[in-house]
Amino acid sequence: MLNNKIIVLLILIDFTFGSMIIQTGIATAETKNKACQKALLLAQKEALQRAGINIFTSFEKKQTFMNDGKIKTIINNSFQKSYGFVKTSSKEEKVNFNPQTGYITCRVKGKFEVDTSKLKSQLLALSQKYNNQFEEENSKTKAIEEKNELLQKYNILKTNLLSTHLIDIGQISYNGGESLSLDECKKQLKRKIKTKFKNVLAKNYNISPSLIKISSIYLMNDIKVNYDNGLIVNYSGKVEGDIQSVKNPYIDEINSLNEFLGEKQIVDENEEITPKGPSFTDKIKSRYNNIIDFFSSKKQYFMINGFINFSDNCCRDIKTYSHISQFEYLINLKTKYYLKLSTGSANYKKSGDICCDDKGTIVKDDYSYEYNSIGISTMILQAKGGSKSSIDIDYVLPFSQKGTKKVGNFFNIVWNNDLVITDNIVIGTGFVIGGEEAWKDNWWTVRLGIFF
């Protein structure tokens, strides 16, 4: 609805043609001419009203109209022109002077002949013009409000959908017959699960499944396999899925309103559009945005590892001490595979005598280094209770080395066992399988991870 509006209301009743009306007007001014002129105009106005013509105007501020004063000017002109349809047949003037104020009061009594035949069509046209203008502004305001509501609904939909969802899809199966392998059967079952997941999610939000794009899904339970004249794979229970994007379901309605408002058509932000002849800068921006979209759409978490080891070999009288602290960042690439980026520091000390050696060889190592690493973490086991096991394979690049030994680049392998405490926190232990000497002695570690 329009709160700011302008209404021109014209009441035209009891029109007569050439009516003779006697009317009096009284006015005060500093001179006789001004006082009598004002009194005559008042008498003419009264004569118009008695002839059945009233112009009532109701103004409420509207910025686009009131700034230029167009409407006020037209209505004032209408009043002035209406006086031209009043013919003064005769008039009598009586004047009084007030010596205290110095003003003159003039009383005019006149006989007026009012011809309303031409004035009627003029006033009706004026009324129609501004009624139409008001209706057009009212329609545009409603269209803008409706468009803004649709845009807000889409923003709310994106906020709710672009996250991780956990849905119980019930029971679903796939019969691979005698021609498909077990791996292919599982792939086909996962496609059905993904479709079912999308359909349930779309139904919950009352939109078409085709508008939703899923980046990945995670099966919370194991796939069961049996054979009955062919392989049959079954899944039952909850599925966790990450939504990458959702198209605007209101795009057609919004563009219809834009067409009415004379505004540009919009394109859904998730539509793939290839611009003609993109500049070098546009290509760089596009690649940058693609990288940002890739990382923001994937499941990620931070992990903090702490390795520490003390040992005392009684036979050889050799003592070792080592400590490694590591900060990890992992991003999901595919269902069970994570890209792993790490940084940390390692300290290693080893000293003592090999007592069973006749020469009494003295063994001593004392070195430290900082490092970065890149690797892959793959989940190999996932239990129903929320625990999972994974293997990390990292390529470690030491730097800032100090002490008795220089360490070159090497591969490191760690077996992890983690327990999911909440949706965002995981704790666990790790066992080093291979790597540089400081790592091998640190065969056990404590882990803390935070998902986001």
Handedness of CA 402, 403, 404, 405 (dihedral sign): negative
Split at pLDDT 50, 70, 90, the class of 31 is very high
pLDDT at 383: 61
Average pLDDT (273-279) is 49
Does the pLDDT value for residue 16 go beyond 50? no
For the segment 121-132, what is each residue's pLDDT rounded down to a tens digit? 666 666 677 677
What is the number of other CB atoms lying within 10 angstroms of the CB of residue 408? 9
For the segment 137-172, what is each residue's pLDDT rounded down to a tens digit? 888 889 899 999 999 999 999 889 888 899 999 999
Average pLDDT (278-294) is 55
Distance CA 114, CA 124 (A): 18
Residue appearing with tokens 């009594």? 109
End-to-end CA distance of the chain: 44
Helices and strands, number each (H, E), in the chain: 8, 17
Residue appearing with tokens 């005559």? 40
Does the pLDDT value for residue 8 go beyond 80? no
Determine the distance from the C-alpha atom of residue 173 to the mean position of all C-alpha atoms in its chain, rounded to a whole number: 37
Distance CA 255, CA 147 (A): 9
Residue 202, token pair as written in the block:
């779309």
Q: Supply the DSSP symbol for 187.
A: H
pTM for this prediction: 0.40
Q: What is the mean pLDDT of the chain?
A: 77
Average pLDDT (177-205) is 90
Paired with 58 in beta bridges are: 7
Where does residue 177 fall: left (phi above 0), alpha (psi -120 to 50 degrees), or beta otherwise?
A: left
What is the number of other CB atoms lying within 10 angstroms of the CB of residue 376? 16
Which residue from 154, 144, 160, 134 is spatially nearest to 59, judged by alpha carbons? 134
Which residue from 168, 174, 171 is spatially nearest to 220, judged by alpha carbons? 168
Please report, rounded to a whole number, the percentage of residues in the chain having pLDDT higher than 90: 27
Handedness of CA 361, 367, 373, 378 (dihedral sign): positive
